[in-house]
Amino acid sequence: PQTIYLKDYTPFGYTVEEVHLTFDLAPSATRVTSRIRFAPTPEAVDKTFFLHGENLSLISAKIDGEAVKPNPTDQGLTCDVPNVPFTWEAEVQIDPAANTALEGLYQSNGMYCTQCEAEGFRKITYYPDRPDVMSVFTVRINGPHPVLLSNGNPVASGDGWAEWHDPWPKPAYLFALVAGELVAHRDTFETMEGRKVDLALHVRAGDEGKCAFGMQALKDSMKWDEDVYGRAYDLDVFNIVAVDDFNMGAMENKGLNIFNASAVLASPETSTDSNFERIEAIIAHEYFHNWTGNRITCRDWFQLCLKEGLTVFRDSQFTADMRSEPVKRISDVIVLRAHQFPEDQGPLAHPVRPESFQEINNFYTATVYEKGAEVIRMLKTLVGDAGYKTALDLYFERHDGDAATIEDWLAVFEEATGRDLTQFKRWYSQAGTPRVAVSDSFEDGTYTLSFAQHTPPSSATPDPQAQVIPIAVGLLSPDGDEVMPTQILELTQDSQSFSFPGLSAKPVPSILRGCSAPVELEHTPDNAFLLAHDTDPFNRWEAARNLAKASLLGTITGGTAPDGGWLDGVAGLLSDDTLDPAYRGYVFAMPGQSQLAADLHQAGTTPDPDAIWAASEVHRKALADRMADVLPDLYARHQVDAPYAPDAAQAGQRALGNTVLSLLSLLDGGDAAQAQFDGATNMTQQLAALAYLIRAGRGDAALAQFEAQWKHDRLVMDKWFGLQVIEADPDDAADTAKALTLHPDFNWKNPNRFRATLGTFSGHHAGFHAKDGSGYTLLADWLIKLDPVNPQTTARMCSAFQTWRRYDAIRQSMIGKELERIAAAPNLSRDTTEMITRIRE
């Protein structure tokens, strides 16, 4: 496959003045007619008229009404064209029914929908399918479907047809079309500019009862973007469509967002509190793209973080405002460490702005999204809230309507704040997680903190240079009072010291408060002290986590018993009713098993997945024993009597209640869990209870009952598939997953069901890494089977193997063989080929 480089960027030699598309829908023979007005750019260096096109049958092509014969190339066509503005017309035929890759125009349960980002529009018609080509689209859809939707505003419609016009110039990746038998949940919103917007959520009949929450989340997002960023919506309608078959969460097509049903449909009976929170965040994310992504888009796909990092940052601010800021920060950092750090520290490492790729779909990564958001968070910390606001206003003012770059983004910050961001830009160009070593001293009333930064070299960044690292630090006196509130120290050198005079005793530092930078600290803080006294909720949680980690690592490597300091500290916090229940739930949560494997590897020890599993179990049990007396009361006090609401307050109660129930279940053999299962009136209670029953070895009856109750509901059945896998014992996990793939409802072509089963399995650390290699073989078998059908979902799941070099020689050799077997599969997709090649490097 061909490698594309950032340095090779050249503009297209033509502008597209307008685009008219007509769709005559038919499952296996849809006709797409395009009429596109092109004008050569006088200053263009490259005058080649090249249009992308993939899997298209060209029926006819004309220029200014005259038939032409274009020259096919392997990725599209070229054609001789006049050196003045001209009209290109083409008719192509495509086969949506055969499109299992779910990219371009495809069918999902009889309904037509599209997914064009990143390069799917070329599967719909011939077009310069690149984000820097922006144009105004008018679309006519002919088809016997009650609902016919495209981008922009409705122009006119009749029986069997509809016409849409989108006045905002957009790149082709934001094109969307939906046709089908759908029912609408409607509402309206009035913008701060006084524009009345008709909102609709289109779903399959039967799902009407799952729309209200998503609609509210949309209205909250629209209001929030006005209040916080001053950005109003800009069309007469905003449509959201839920589809069952979708490769990711959702897509921000202009005026017509398309959502994986799992990312929008919610009801108390079928969705957990975490589902509700995730749905709210994804609706916000896609809505926020209207300004950060659509009005200002990316010049080329290397700039993906320009829209994704910023939009993730914006949706995290939104969630923090809607719910709890510290809890949101903690959960974001858990995700960052679990997904982005391993990527940044393994063979898939790449900068936030990559410099080359073979298949761009492989770069919708935790690095581009989550580290991309962290970089913006640091930028805001460094320039301050006011500086950030001025810079963002300038960004919107200057670049509205543009296809922009990271250089453009940083330039507005430099101009708005006067700050030189030359060194800061390394966050966009260097791969790897910086490591920061900390030491300190105290003399004559002056406390000195010294930092040394070091980023391990990688093939993506062989020679990393010092980064600008904002380190939020507070100081506590030995008796636990805060003697210095949070200050931001800017670490810019390889090593650097900061002094704090005028102290009467050596203070206890609280470092990297709020996780102020995506780095790893090399530092042994006084965790028990910080757990008791830190004023920063993030670092207090971090202290509990550090204690748990040290205790677990002690058990894994030295067989020591769970640390009494950790047990006391956590038990104390769990019972402290002055603290937010959701926060307490997080304080209890222990580091994940693959996180422990990463820590062991970092410390130079080969991780043993079975030992990690066993130590985690021992710790859970020790905590349950330690708290045995208080658990029943704690459980009773965190039951919600009020009618179900998916808000943060109730969700926090249930989260803590369920945490307590998980401990109780280790002591009562699952009786309390059975009672909760039997009496559950919402999915949060039902699913948690089911999990603990499975763990207690008495899940069979409940699983059967759950299946009978929810057979008709795909999204709930995804949970049923996933839960059995994730709650299986390590030696059963592969067999459980395998047995589920034989279940009549295992539709492997549906990405949600495939991920619920095989994706969940690859996240079962000890099960996936079972000694006999059965887990590796199972996953490889299924990836080989899925690749010809759906390359994108296959390629994404290959990352389960990215940490393979951490493990022992026998496991490495077993994984190596599976990777080789995947690589050797005939006609392996470009997507999977690139992933496997990079992982094997």
Distance CA(423)–CA(465), nearest Å, equals: 9
According to the binding rule CB under 6 A, does residue 520 interact with ligand B3K?
Answer: no
User: Nearest distance from residue 293's CB to Zn ion, in Å?
Assistant: 7
User: Nearest distance from residue 308's CB to ligand B3K, in Å?
Assistant: 5
According to the binding rule CB under 6 A, does residue 797 interact with ligand B3K?
Answer: no
User: Nearest distance from residue 170's CB to ligand B3K, in Å?
Assistant: 13
Considering CB distances under 5 to 8 angstroms, the limit depending on partner class, which of ligand B3K, Zn ion, none binds residue 553? Answer: none
Taking alpha carbons only, the member of 128, 140, 130 closest to residue 166 is: 140
- Per the DSSP assignment, residues forming a β-bridge with 60 are 91
Considering CB distances under 5 to 8 angstroms, the limit depending on partner class, which of Zn ion, ligand B3K, none binds residue 251? Answer: ligand B3K
Preceding peptide of 645 cis, ω within 30°: no
Distances from the Cα of 568 to the Cα of 98, 542, 547, 571, angstroms: 60, 16, 11, 5
SS3 category, 499: strand
According to the binding rule CB under 6 A, does residue 308 interact with ligand B3K?
Answer: yes
User: Nearest distance from residue 129's CB to ligand B3K, in Å?
Assistant: 13
SS3 category, 54: coil
Task: By CB under 6 A, name the one of 23, 224, 364, 801 that touches ligand B3K.
Answer: 364
According to the binding rule CB under 6 A, does residue 291 interact with ligand B3K?
Answer: no
Considering CB distances under 5 to 8 angstroms, the limit depending on partner class, which of ligand B3K, Zn ion, none binds residue 248? Answer: ligand B3K
Segment interacting with ligand B3K (CB under 6 A) among 135-143, 243-251, 593-601, 635-643: 243-251
CB-nearer residue toward ligand B3K: 317 or 430:
317
Interactions with ligand B3K, residue window 537-596 (CB under 6 A): none
Sequence-distant (≥ 6) Cβ neighbours of residue 397 within 8 angstroms: none
CB-nearer residue toward ligand B3K: 358 or 575:
358
According to the binding rule CB under 6 A, does residue 315 interact with ligand B3K?
Answer: no
CB-nearer residue toward Zn ion: 308 or 831:
308
User: Nearest distance from residue 252's CB to Zn ion, in Å?
Assistant: 6
Segment interacting with ligand B3K (CB under 6 A) among 18-26, 159-167, 283-291, 648-656: 283-291
Output the DSSP codes for 455-486.
----SS-SS-----EEEEEEEE-TTS-EEEEE
Considering CB distances under 5 to 8 angstroms, the limit depending on partner class, which of Zn ion, ligand B3K, none binds residue 471? Answer: none
User: Nearest distance from residue 796's CB to Zn ion, in Å?
Assistant: 15
- Which stretches within 648-790 are classed as H helix? 648-668, 671-679, 683-695, 700-710, 714-726, 730-741, 751-754, 760-762, 765-768, 774-786
CB-nearer residue toward Zn ion: 258 or 547:
258
- Determine contact, residues 250/237, Cβ cutoff 8 Å: no
Counting DSSP H helices and E strands in the chain, the numbers are 29, 31
The site that binds Zn ion (CB under 5 A) totals a number of residues, namely: 2
Distances from the Cα of 33 to the Cα of 92, 119, 138, 141, 827, angstroms: 7, 19, 12, 11, 31
- Determine contact, residues 706/690, Cβ cutoff 8 Å: yes
| DSSP summary character for residue 3 | P
- Which stretches within 21-131 are classed as H helix? none
Sheet holding 520-522, edge to edge: 495-500, 446-454, 435-443, 520-522
114 to 153: interface string for ligand B3K, x by CB under 6 A: ---xx-----------------------------------
User: Nearest distance from residue 312's CB to ligand B3K, in Å?
Assistant: 8
Sequence-distant (≥ 6) Cβ neighbours of residue 457 within 8 angstroms: 432, 463, 464
CB-nearer residue toward ligand B3K: 308 or 713:
308
C-alpha neighbours within 13 Å on the C-beta side of residue 200: 15
Tell me which amino acid residue 290 is: N
Q: Take residue 791 and report the two structure tokens written for it.
A: 């390359």
Sequence-distant (≥ 6) Cβ neighbours of residue 233 within 8 angstroms: 189, 191, 195, 197, 222, 290
According to the binding rule CB under 6 A, does residue 252 interact with ligand B3K?
Answer: yes
Q: Which residue has the tokens 């199972």?
A: 778
According to the binding rule CB under 6 A, does residue 359 interact with ligand B3K?
Answer: no
Angle at alpha carbon of residue 251, lines to 247 and 255, rounded to 5°: 150
According to the binding rule CB under 6 A, does residue 286 interact with ligand B3K?
Answer: yes
Distance CA(653)–CA(167), nearest Å, equals: 47
- Determine contact, residues 29/23, Cβ cutoff 8 Å: no
The site that binds ligand B3K (CB under 6 A) totals a number of residues, namely: 12
283 to 322: interface string for Zn ion, x by CB under 5 A: -------------------------x--x-----------
Distance CA(37)–CA(18), nearest Å, equals: 5
Task: By CB under 6 A, name the one of 135, 262, 294, 361 that touches ligand B3K.
Answer: 361
Considering CB distances under 5 to 8 angstroms, the limit depending on partner class, which of ligand B3K, Zn ion, none binds residue 521? Answer: none
Cα 110–chain centre separation: 28
CB-nearer residue toward ligand B3K: 315 or 668:
315
Segment interacting with ligand B3K (CB under 6 A) among 66-74, 154-162, 282-290, 456-464: 282-290
Segment interacting with ligand B3K (CB under 6 A) among 43-51, 281-289, 378-386, 396-404: 281-289
CB-nearer residue toward Zn ion: 284 or 839:
284
Segment interacting with ligand B3K (CB under 6 A) among 247-255, 350-358, 413-421, 528-536: 247-255
According to the binding rule CB under 6 A, does residue 300 interact with ligand B3K?
Answer: no
Angle at alpha carbon of residue 294, lines to 288 and 298, rounded to 5°: 115
User: Nearest distance from residue 389's CB to ligand B3K, in Å?
Assistant: 24
Catalytic residue among 277, 286, 520, 542: 286
CB-nearer residue toward ligand B3K: 145 or 289:
289
Distances from the Cα of 776 to the Cα of 479, 560, 742, angstroms: 52, 31, 18
Taking alpha carbons only, the member of 475, 533, 536 closest to residue 504 is: 475
Considering CB distances under 5 to 8 angstroms, the limit depending on partner class, which of Zn ion, ligand B3K, none binds residue 719? Answer: none
Interactions with Zn ion, residue window 18-77 (CB under 5 A): none
User: Nearest distance from residue 349's CB to ligand B3K, in Å?
Assistant: 20
Active site residue 286: yes
Segment interacting with ligand B3K (CB under 6 A) among 216-224, 250-258, 318-326, 525-533: 250-258
According to the binding rule CB under 6 A, does residue 264 interact with ligand B3K?
Answer: no
The residues carrying an active-site annotation are 286
Task: Catalog residues that contact ligand B3K under the rule CB under 6 A.
Answer: 117-118, 248, 250-252, 285-286, 289, 308, 361, 364
Task: Catalog residues that contact Zn ion under the rule CB under 5 A.
Answer: 308, 311
